Structure 1
Amino acid sequence: MKNTLRLGAAAIAILVAGPAFAAGKMTLYCSPQEEWCQLMVTEFEKETGIKVAMTRKSSGETFAQIKAEASNPKGDVWWGGTGDPHLQAAEEGLTEAYTSEHLDELHDWAQRQHAAADKKSVGIYAGALGFGYNEELLKKHGLPEPRCWSDLIKPEFRGEVQMANPNSSGTAYTMLATMVQLMGEDEAFDYLKALHQNINQYTKSGSAPIKAAAQGETTVGIVFQHDAVTMRVTGAPIKVVSPCEGTGYEIGSMSIIKGARNLEEAKKFYDFALRPDIQTMAAQAKAYQVPSNKQATPPPEAPDFDEIKLIDYDFKKYGSSDERQRLLKKWDEEVAAQPR
């Protein structure tokens, strides 16, 4: 009888303590390159003992997933990817407000992202938009060296340019919003229609075009410049270009998902990801973005923002739900729908 009572008590204890067994786990939605995502998971698990289930998708795909799961959230943290969809997620109430103890250590642009999102997101890195080209293919095809956005719409580059689809890729949406801010909307869409004639493929992932260029599948890939640097560092014949007219940039961001099942673990990861020692490790994964913590050491290969002609990118406006949806709809109707 005593043994039976003890077993019954143990069973009740297990049932009562059931939620505690869920502690020490976390689900991470990750939008930068796979290698960096894996490095972050490995280091966080090693330091905290918290087990991380990680899914890697582009910014646009991740935003769509979080929106689809809003009534039954499955993720805890969304780490990385362009800041525009993070701002849209904040606006739509899909993410939680949180202020890290490391906020004061961050660059102004990262803190501004936190303020613009009503504390529901924060900047973790920055990267300038541009393009890269395969030097060997350029020479083989007898093409002139492209230095400006205007070069990419020249007839000789027909079928030689690749970029992502802005509906799925934060990189490509940054390209769309950059053109509008750089040229004005009417001229920007005229440009994008002309560029469409030279595009050989719209990829799902923002970094895919430069990987294709590195493999000799396309001559030019429109990407964030740090992604082109990654290919060059690995030995690919890629030349990185910061367009002569000027260009936009991203504030790669991080957000805690509204209704996160593992909120305390999510906050631990959030603080972990903002530390200078963790951000400095990015170079180990061949990630060459500019880190948001002022005490972090940028990789020497990272593009120098002081040497890039950056526009005054309006993150608040172009990260808003209405503006994003309007521009994407217009791009679908006026650009993507046109024959090539």
Structure 2
Amino acid sequence: MKNIMKLASIALVLLFTLFGLTNKASAAKLTLYCSVEIDVCEMLEQAYEKETGTKVAMTRASSGETFAKIKAESSNPKGDVWFGGTGDPHLTAAQENLTAEYKSKHFNDLLPAAQNQAVNANYKSVGIYVGALGFGYNKELLAKKGLPAPKSWMDLTKPIYKGEIQIANPNSSGTAYTTLATIIQIFGEDKGWDYMKALHLNVNTYTKSGSAPIKATGRGENLIGICFQHDGVKQTKKGLPVVTVSPAEGTGYEVGSMSIIAGARNMKEAKKFYDWALSPPIQTMVFTSGKSLQVPSNTKAQADPDAPDLSTINLIDYNFKVYGDKSTRAGLLSKWDNDVSVIPR
């Protein structure tokens, strides 16, 4: 009898162990590539895990870096969803069939710009927020140096700001690529490249991340940082002496986007996250958290009261279809590498 009881106990332990392992193996998973600020990425990761029980593996990188990663992994995809970053590389990814078609159940509630992003991508991407481009300066540092406040894109090319400007590298940063595409659209091809060369002479550092320049400006390490305006306002809300500028000539804007990666290992969970991230409660959570000051794409969601008012900003008719095209993008980046970045400063 003792032997029978012992064998029964062992069998029961093995059964429970096997049951536990099976449950663990079948637990839902999601691999998230995130191109917004790390605190927002972590908030999304934690909220989705808490609400759904799904285990999220999150990696944060800039939009240019993430695009390169997804392309490098295309023969054996490791990610499921790419969240955030400017819309241009998402359009390029769609054109190269690196992302999968999916139309969210929330599509009809989205801003026209977010819907247009989906249409231009053949529903392989969608807009999740909108943000205007601009720059910011440190007003305390400006006063200390006795310099006038810059008000326009052209002001940034003045010799008085030599060595005072930071911008990211357009190869790694969606913010910087949007800047390059914006300048070409405002000034035209020839004058636009002349502008980029003149700006280059005033740049002290090209960063990897698009938000890094304005953070350095907030810390007083740099006078002027080219950024999306909401990133400048975020520094001001932290109590730092940053003044955000909407350039006098007008400015481009981003439709921050989200895409499901083609061949995703967890496709069902990827679609579930896609709809979740576009829902009014989650968009309200993200964009009223104080961590993200863009305008949410879902019209039923709330924005932070301090978010830049797009209706007061002179936005250009930014051509997302053209500047998200893979050949256009490759051509602009190649020309910047060969004709701008190599100029001695």
User: Secondary structure of the equivalent of 1:197?
Assistant: helix
Give TM-score, length-normalised by structure 1.
0.95
Q: Structure 2 CA distance, aligned partners of 1:202 and 1:23? A: 42
**Corresponding residue number in structure 1 for 2:333:** 328
**Corresponding residue number in structure 2 for 1:193:** 197
Q: Structure 2 CA distance, aligned partners of 1:305 and 1:132? A: 17
Q: Structure 2 CA distance, aligned partners of 1:182 and 1:92? A: 28
Counterpart AA for 1:295: K
Give the CA deviation at 1:116.
0.5
User: Secondary structure of the equivalent of 1:119?
Assistant: coil
**Corresponding residue number in structure 1 for 2:320:** 315
Q: 2:181 aligns with which of 141, 164, 177?
A: 177
User: Secondary structure of the equivalent of 2:311?
Assistant: helix
My pick for the range that moved more, 117-126 or 20-29, is 20-29
Q: Deviations over 1:41-62 (max 9, x none)?
A: 1111111000101000000000
- Whether contact under 8 Å (1:36, 1:285) holds in the other structure is no
Q: 2:39 aligns with which of 28, 35, 38?
A: 35
Give the CA deviation at 1:23.
4.2
Q: Deviations over 1:17-46 (max 9, x none)?
A: 969824411100000101111111111111
Q: Structure 1 CA distance, aligned partners of 2:23 and 2:98? A: 24
Q: Structure 2 CA distance, aligned partners of 1:130 and 1:331? A: 20
Counterpart AA for 1:294: T
* CA gap 1:78/1:285 in 2 versus in 1, 3 angstroms: farther
- Whether contact under 8 Å (1:127, 1:252) holds in the other structure is yes
User: Secondary structure of the equivalent of 1:54?
Assistant: strand
Q: Does 1:224 align with 2:228?
A: yes
Q: Does 1:145 align with 2:152?
A: no
Q: Structure 2 CA distance, aligned partners of 1:38 and 1:56? A: 9
Counterpart AA for 1:127: G
Counterpart AA for 1:27: T
Q: 2:308 aligns with which of 281, 303, 312?
A: 303
User: Secondary structure of the equivalent of 2:301?
Assistant: coil
* CA gap 1:18/1:259 in 2 versus in 1, 3 angstroms: farther
**Corresponding residue number in structure 1 for 2:169:** 165
Q: 1:238 aligns with which of 238, 242, 246?
A: 242
**Corresponding residue number in structure 2 for 1:72:** 76
**Could you list the runs of 5+ residues in structure 1 that have no partner in the other structure?**
none
Q: Structure 2 CA distance, aligned partners of 1:101 and 1:18? A: 32
Q: Does 1:90 align with 2:86?
A: no
Give the CA deviation at 1:251.
0.2
Q: Deviations over 1:136-174 (max 9, x none)?
A: 000000110111001111111000000000000000000
My pick for the range that moved more, 167-176 or 281-290, is 281-290
User: Secondary structure of the equivalent of 1:284?
Assistant: coil
Q: Deviations over 1:223-269 (max 9, x none)?
A: 00001111110011000100000000000000000111111111111
Counterpart AA for 2:321: K
Q: Does 1:338 align with 2:338?
A: no
Give the CA deviation at 1:285.
4.5
Structure 1's consecutive aligned runs of 4 or more residues displaced over 2 angstroms after TM superposition are 17-23
Counterpart AA for 2:158: K
**Corresponding residue number in structure 1 for 2:139:** 135
Map 1:28-67 → 2, pairs under 5 A: 28-67=32-71
- Whether contact under 8 Å (2:114, 2:255) holds in the other structure is yes
Counterpart AA for 2:29: K
- Whether contact under 8 Å (2:289, 2:304) holds in the other structure is no
**Corresponding residue number in structure 1 for 2:209:** 205
Counterpart AA for 1:221: G
**Corresponding residue number in structure 2 for 1:274:** 278
Q: Deviations over 1:53-108 (max 9, x none)?
A: 10000000000000000011110000000000000000000000001111111111
My pick for the range that moved more, 21-30 or 109-118, is 21-30
**Corresponding residue number in structure 1 for 2:119:** 115
Counterpart AA for 2:217: A
**Could you list the runs of 5+ residues in structure 2 that have no partner in the other structure?**
none
TM-align CA RMSD: 1.9
- Whether contact under 8 Å (1:39, 1:285) holds in the other structure is no
Give the CA deviation at 1:284.
1.3
- Whether contact under 8 Å (1:23, 1:262) holds in the other structure is no
User: Secondary structure of the equivalent of 1:251?
Assistant: strand
Identity %: 60
Q: Structure 1 CA distance, aligned partners of 2:241 and 2:28? A: 44
